[in-house]
């Protein structure tokens, strides 16, 4: 079963310095029918104005992933980390028993676009940690590239949950197949393009929640950039 949620039906917010499209309830926006999927709690497509961002704020017992799509993000936290990341880089923070951090557009000239993803941890009450990783953007082409996983690896961030985040840039007319392990769920976010997923069509900004399927077949009707998350 593939449930598609069109971009046009998603909530959007414009605060001037921040434009955001959350896939689930977030902040002052609450939809009782959209509070998460499996262990996933947040999928925000955020645009931050030059030099603006989120001031110091706390988190606990949450796995937080930031994927930069365009521009530069500066992360700072009370663990002593201060990192600037751009496209081809991923930031992962395990909030654990508690962490305080800031996230700002590191550029004073260009807009920042990033995906903010939150997941419930496999185990609560662990020591907080932070990791910045990088991947080769060329490896996204016509492939599903894992950029975050429970095991982690070279050019892949680790995360404290039984899950994997893939990114892919599929050329028009190209196809990919993904074999689903029994009992697993998948979340798809269309960053850009038009994509056929089995018998469903996804366009820019659409999301899809997948359950009880054995395989996913992807075909790009236009050059497509998308995220696939495999979840317990």
Query: Binding site: residue ranges?
Result: 57, 59, 101, 103
Pairing mode, strands 145-149 and 157-158: parallel
Residue 168 to residue 153: CA distance in whole angstroms: 18
CA-to-CA dists, residue 230 to 42, 66, 68, angstroms: 15, 17, 20
Summarize the annotated binding site for Fe cation as residue ranges.
57, 59, 101, 103
User: Under the phi-then-psi rule, with left for phi > 0, alpha for psi from -120 to 50, and beta for the rest, what region is 122?
Assistant: alpha
- 9-36 as b/e, with b when 16 or more CB fall inside 10 Å? ebeeeeeeebbbbbbbbbeeeeeeebee
- CB 158, CB 147: distance < 8 Å: no
Sorted by sequence, the CB contacts under 8 Å of residue 29 that are 6+ apart come out as: 11, 13, 22
Torsion angle of C-alpha atoms 26, 28, 31, 35, degrees rounded to 10: 30
Indicate the DSSP class of residue 118.
Answer: E
């Amino acid at each position: 079963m593939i449930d598609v949620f069109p971009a046009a039906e998603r909530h959007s917010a414009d605060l001037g310095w921040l434009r955001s499209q959350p896939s689930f309830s977030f902040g002052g926006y609450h939809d009782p029918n959209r509070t998460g999927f499996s262990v996933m709690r947040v999928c925000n497509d955020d645009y931050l104005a030059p030099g603006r961002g989120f001031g110091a704020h706390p988190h606990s017992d949450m796995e937080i992933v930031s994927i930069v799509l365009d521009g530069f993000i500066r992360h700072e936290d009370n663990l002593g980390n201060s990192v600037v990341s751009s496209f081809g880089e991923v930031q992962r923070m395990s909030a654990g028993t508690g962490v305080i951090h800031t996230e700002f557009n590191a550029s004073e000239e260009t807009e920042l676009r990033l995906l903010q993803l939150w997941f419930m941890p496999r185990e609560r009450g662990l020591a907080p940690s932070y990791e910045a990783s990088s991947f080769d953007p060329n490896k996204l082409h016509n492939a599903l590239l894992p950029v975050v996983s429970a095991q982690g690896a070279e050019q892949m961030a680790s995360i404290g949950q039984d899950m994997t985040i893939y990114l892919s840039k599929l050329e028009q007319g190209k196809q990919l197949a993904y074999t689903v392990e029994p009992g697993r769920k998948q979340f798809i976010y269309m960053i850009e393009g038009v994509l056929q997923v089995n018998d469903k069509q996804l366009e820019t900004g659409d999301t899809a929640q997948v359950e009880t399927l054995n395989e996913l077949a992807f075909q790009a009707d236009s050059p497509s950039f998308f995220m696939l998350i495999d979840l317990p």
